[in-house]
Structure 1
Amino acid sequence: MSHIQPKIQTLLDKLNQIVLDKEEAVTLAVSCILADGHLLLQDLPGMGKTTLAHSLAILLGLDFNRVQFTNDMLPADILGMMIYNQSEQSFAFRKGAVFTQLLLADEINRSSPKTQSALLEAMEEKQVTQDGQTYVLPKPFFVIATQNPAQQAGVYPLPESQLDRFLMCVSLGYPSPKAERELLEGRDRRAMMGELVPILTSEEVTQAQREVKDIYIAPVVLDYLQKLVAKTRSSQEYHGLSPRGVLALKRACQAYAYVLGQDNVAIDDVQAVFSAVADHRLGQRFVPFHHLGGLTEMTIARRILDEVAID
């Protein structure tokens, strides 16, 4: 076992003290980062999405910028712009908020599609091109975006090309009555976040990403993974997973197993990450929750999991 994996367990424990009763969502979020992927958190306002993202940045020891997306925001507000220096009589590039290790794109679907698309190159190529000049982003680089339900006022649905850049899409849902009581009687979450200290360094995060790639996947597990993928491509209701989506699923499985301290991927790991990786790629824009925190309807991915047999 790597010396980093015990630290990851400590990280999970700290996150679960801040974001109560959401152990599975927290594990998926950490797995997404260690798989070198971007994370989309979608839910109603006030569910703890921003708290989870900010806490992750602190505990992972990453530089952090937060951008509050609005409908009048321009791409230059995120990427940066050329500024004229009168004393030197020349233009210089002023870097935007994207030049950080972890960018929190808060309420990303409140900005226009033009502004949303400004992140496409950064998320895929880890670089920004402005006025013909390419600027490399810091390493590691992640985007954690939050979005509100499409039925709320003033939101623009993320296009498929943008959704596909997110390795996982995770929803938190309402807390259980027990967790909500603890929130009411316990300490303020902002105060608790102020006491957090890094558990990993950015170098250890990069090392963990390399170690994730070495997690073994047996042929029988790959067979099951491919059966799930084939099932997504057999429907006329939605487009199936692309090759990029398949590779994303593989990385997510490896990272999830790594976070749990395993040295190989099990069938259970595939099932645990499949919804988070697949639903937003299959057209499941938003998964509603009822007041107890459970799903109100069967998602596309969960239906596929029920229909595909394990040999």
Structure 2
Amino acid sequence: MSLSAFSSGGGSSRGHLLTEQPNPRSSELDRLDTSQLVHLFIEEDRRPQEALAGAAAGLTAAIDAIAERLRQGGRLFYLGAGTSGRLGVLDAAECPPTFCTPPELVQGVLAGGAPALLRSSEGLEDLADGGRADLEARGFSGDDALVGIAAGGTTPYVHGGLAYARSLGALTVAMACVSAEQVPMPSDIEIRLLTGPELLAGSTRLKAGTATKMALNILSTGVMVRLGKVYANRMVDVAVTNSKLEDRALRILADLAGMEREQGAELLERSGGSVKLALLLALTGLEPEQGRRRLEASGGLLRRALEL
């Protein structure tokens, strides 16, 4: 492939980016013994937590804004290429089993699609029109929210998707591991995870990837808390689809409502497998249909339903 093929954005020098700079602590990485190497990685992997602390305001704003979009019927999309895109797909895939959300509510869009999960197709990240095309194929609309993920912040695929989303009036969130001063991104909210240079220069699957995964954990969990998928610190919208999840549901009923397993199993059956409804019935003495109406009136928030 000729260098001119990257003229849309992939060919410009990125050596000035924080994520691309060499780390002086690992200047002789190949000469360290294995124990020294491991301890150096352990020391450096404290940086993602510090980066998250610095991005707390952006995470807070994103959680509240995304939750509001989803309350109004919108959806959440993650968009990225390479490691960044794979992390978005992973987080989206965990939402249905954890929070009993429909698969279309949170979607991960990866440059190259499903094959890129297993085999690198990094060249596609340089296609600025690719992000837009992939969002259009999913029926992305102005009611939705988009989180564009790019460790170095320059990925044309992500920039194209964010620009398209903004043109529709959708909520846009940029997540990157470089400062906004280094790389502006078209977005309403920014989450900048400043993890510093990697021990293996430019390998953003390391600290940058760790910080991104941690940020996505906070983001999706926070949104689901705001949507009423959590009561206390329990996953009350968990789908009872196998023996492990049934056991978890029964333990939730035992811990929060003081129910024996047999009693909990019976109530769970009467509630159609809904832990949230079963808890409401156990704590109020309501009948299932009454409980369903109360949950609907409370917007699915169990704590609010208990106060009605």
TM category (shorter chain) comes to under 0.3
Larger fraction in strand: 1
TM-score, normalising length: structure 1: 0.28
Larger Rg computed on CA atoms: 2
